[in-house]
Structure 1
């Protein structure tokens, strides 16, 4: 038996986590699985010289994410554990999430699901559909600055990080919007297509 895998892409700060969780909660037998668990740890980022790029495409284990998605396609008769992301620590956390064997749909979300380059093509290939979540740029930026401040950055540090890291990533993600199967607005969870 095969599961249906739905991806939700969008720029940083678009509200993908809130939107995908809400949508999954409204679908019987659905599981929610974010891409954030595949962030590389700070120790690995430091070894690779990527600490100041955290959140960019190359700072994720996208091959590992694609492999988990392929594994989830087969509805095995046992739980599948997946990494989560601990916001307070800003670190991935092993086996923090579980997809129950009866879950017939998996809703996953992340910035880069539509990038037309490896290893992200392998992620896209593992998904049945990818929807793009649209959000106003000024709303996104406000959310991002607030998030960075909440987790310890000063107002100036938060704004600088958004300008230096988040916004270049957002431009990359927005350039992939045309590859989405459907586009929905961040404020309209009811506007998403039904899962068939």
Structure 2
């Protein structure tokens, strides 16, 4: 299904009626457009009902490079095991309780690190869009997140488009063309294939 952003905003607002807090998972492979679409969707919702929506990016739960280095995981940073899935689970449980504001981390891509407490989810934020690669991954420990989502969306983007975007992303970050190809094909696309093959069936596939 391919609703436009305006229709999706209306759909979420309708689904959230009667909920004190409505948590949406927006999952998809690297470079599928999760960050862009989640922020756009949030703006569309807030234009209709100001201040009601906020975004929680899963990238904020990257383990720090110091932790990854101690475990030999820096070369595969971005793989499922390089994220603090339990930390995300705990924060989402706090968000679902809707009894106080919750500070969440946000990943700073140019600095390649997560900034703790960089975004505040307040009681005003009745619709919370959680975006990230592995939110629907059917491999431990990720399935524990499923019960925390009221609606699940999975972005579907053809591999050739993902590859093009990923190469450009690495080039924009200062990698030479050979390194950009290597990282895109041998790291990012490996994760993309895992997400496509091993994610649970979402409530809606969005392409």
**TM norm structure 2:** 0.85
- 1:145-180 per-residue CA deviation (whole Å, 9 max, x = no partner) reads 111111121111011011111111011100135511
Question: Residue 176 of structure 2 aligns with which residue?
Answer: 154
Query: What secondary structure is seen at the aligned counterpart in 1 of 2:133?
Result: coil
Question: Residue 202 of structure 2 aligns with which residue?
Answer: 180
1:24-173 equivalences under 5 Å are 24-27=42-45, 28=49, 29-76=52-99, 78-173=100-195
The runs of at least 4 aligned residues of structure 1 exceeding 4 Å deviation read none
Q: Distance in 1 between matches of 2:150 and 2:199?
A: 16
Q: Distance in 2 between matches of 1:2 and 1:68?
A: 17
Question: Residue 5 of structure 2 aligns with which residue?
Answer: none
RMSD: 1.3
Query: What secondary structure is seen at the aligned counterpart in 2 of 1:43?
Result: helix
Q: Distance in 2 between matches of 1:57 and 1:147?
A: 20
1:10 equivalent among 14, 28, 31:
28
- 1:73-125 per-residue CA deviation (whole Å, 9 max, x = no partner) reads 0112x421100000111111101111122110100111111111221011222
Q: Distance in 2 between matches of 1:54 and 1:90?
A: 10
In the alignment of these two chains, the number of paired residues is 184
Shift in CA distance, 96/115, structure 1 to aligned 2, threshold 3 Å: same
8 Å Cα contact 1:82-1:94 kept in structure 2: yes
Task: Name structure 1 gaps, 5 residues minimum.
Answer: 186-196
Question: Residue 7 of structure 2 aligns with which residue?
Answer: none
8 Å Cα contact 1:7-1:109 kept in structure 2: yes
8 Å Cα contact 1:9-1:109 kept in structure 2: yes
8 Å Cα contact 2:170-2:180 kept in structure 1: yes
Query: What secondary structure is seen at the aligned counterpart in 2 of 1:26?
Result: helix
Q: Distance in 1 between matches of 2:91 and 2:36?
A: 22
